[in-house]
Structure 1
Amino acid sequence: MKLYADRVPVALRQLVIDILVVIWVYLWIRVALWIHDVVEKLAVPGQKLESAGGGIADNLADAGGKVGRVPIVGDELTAPFTGAADAARSIADAGRQQQDFVEQLALILPALALAVPLALVLFVWLPSRLRWVRRAGVAAAVRNHPAGQDLLALRALASQPLTELAKLGPDIAQSWRSGDSAAVEALAGLELRRLGLKQR
């Protein structure tokens, strides 16, 4: 398996792109964490609402219990305290619901922020990089064998632009067909250069 090209300019370009991709992913992870932290701060009002509502409900329930001990009218006096305590509990529930919503938002927004950058890495850069690694690995493995040189020459004839092939001479295909070793070597070299590899 070959991770980088033999030729310095190509290998340097690959290395710089790989480093930039790693930095790109790292920066987007930092952005996602920052978004998470900012959204989490939105839960503070809900926490305060829950705390205040719960505290008021407990105090009203306690007061209602004390008022309920008043002889004769105690039961009638507890009704407003019970109603107010229930209303305070509703406020506390609203605070809890707001916190739950913020927690979900704190998961969804960072995931959305990461989705596009990671999709670009996973579906654009990574397949291209793996394709090069596979092709370069096979080319490096066969470049030292005569049959491998012939395969590389055939690959060059099939995939190289006509302008590049024409630079090798007008009869390059005929020379390859007749088994001319110089033509085979020139074509194989063209394919290896495209991959950033050295010939032998």
Structure 2
Amino acid sequence: MSWYARPSWQLARQLGADLFVLVWAVAWWSAGRFLDSAVSALAGPARQTEQATAELVGSFRDAARSAGQVPGVGGELRTPLDAAAERLTQLSAAARGQAVQIERLADLVGVLVFLIPVAVVVAVWLPRRLRFAARSRAARRLVDSPADLDLFALRAMATLPLDQLARISDDPVAAWRAGDREVIAALADTALRREGLPPLPRGQR
């Protein structure tokens, strides 16, 4: 099985298409990374809020412990400080949750920006490459004996312009009926070449 045509304009088109798909994928991967970073940057304020409130929670906890040690009124002094620390803890958790959601959204946006346009192009490009590979494999199976060349010779006589047939033989139909293996091989090879398929094995030319 061959993935590429023999040297021809068809091979140039195949290589050009492959290069386009590669460049397209790299371009959209870069775009996805850029958008991922841009959206992730929106989580910065939430992360800063989380860090600042976490530091305040620590300060209020320390103050509450110190206030609790005051004889007689320690419990009363500590209660509002503990309550403030609890509210700040909730605020820190909310900020952390918001940052996580933004970062997840950034990951999703980055993946979709890459995946959707690349999938559209690959959905067009890949079936064509697979069809060519399948035709190439089938052609190789069909030319495993001299008798199989008749099929491609008939295809050549049915599809080639008359001037190309004349360059192969003055009367290709008569040569085919007479079993002229040289003309049949030339016709078959021309048909394969026109399809961009691999040439005939040396022993069958």
TM band (smaller chain): 0.7 to 0.9
Q: 1:22 corresponds to which residue? A: 22
Q: 1:193 corresponds to which residue? A: 194
1:82 Cα deviation (Å)? Answer: 1.0
1:17 Cα deviation (Å)? Answer: 1.2
Q: 1:68 to 1:144 in 2, by over 3 A?
A: closer
1:132 Cα deviation (Å)? Answer: 0.5
Q: Equivalent residue of 2:6, what SS?
A: coil
Q: Equivalent residue of 2:71, what SS?
A: coil
Q: Which amino acid aligns with 1:194?
A: E
Q: Which amino acid aligns with 2:42?
A: L
Identity fraction in percent: 30
CA distance in 2, matches of 1:18, 1:183: 34
CA distance in 1, matches of 2:132, 2:15: 13
Q: What do the CA deviations read for 1:60-98 (whole angstroms, capped 9, x no partner)?
A: 111111112222121111111111111111111012101
TM-score w.r.t. length of structure 2: 0.75
1:150 Cα deviation (Å)? Answer: 2.4
CA distance in 2, matches of 1:90, 1:26: 42
Q: 1:44 corresponds to which residue? A: 44
Q: 1:10 to 1:79 in 2, by over 3 A?
A: same
1:195 Cα deviation (Å)? Answer: 3.3
Q: Which amino acid aligns with 2:21?
A: V
Contact 1:4–1:14 (8 Å) recurs in 2? yes
Q: Which ranges in structure 1 are unaligned for 5 or more consecutive residues?
A: 169-173
Q: Which amino acid aligns with 2:29?
A: I
Contact 2:11–2:196 (8 Å) recurs in 1? no
1:7 Cα deviation (Å)? Answer: 4.0
Q: 1:110 to 1:179 in 2, by over 3 A?
A: farther
CA distance in 1, matches of 2:148, 2:41: 62
CA distance in 2, matches of 1:4, 1:183: 25
Q: 1:117 to 1:36 in 2, by over 3 A?
A: same
Q: Which ranges in structure 2 are unaligned for 5 or more consecutive residues?
A: 166-172
Q: 1:151 corresponds to which residue? A: 151
TM-score w.r.t. length of structure 1: 0.77
1:149 Cα deviation (Å)? Answer: 2.1
User: What number of residue pairs does the alignment pair up?
Assistant: 192
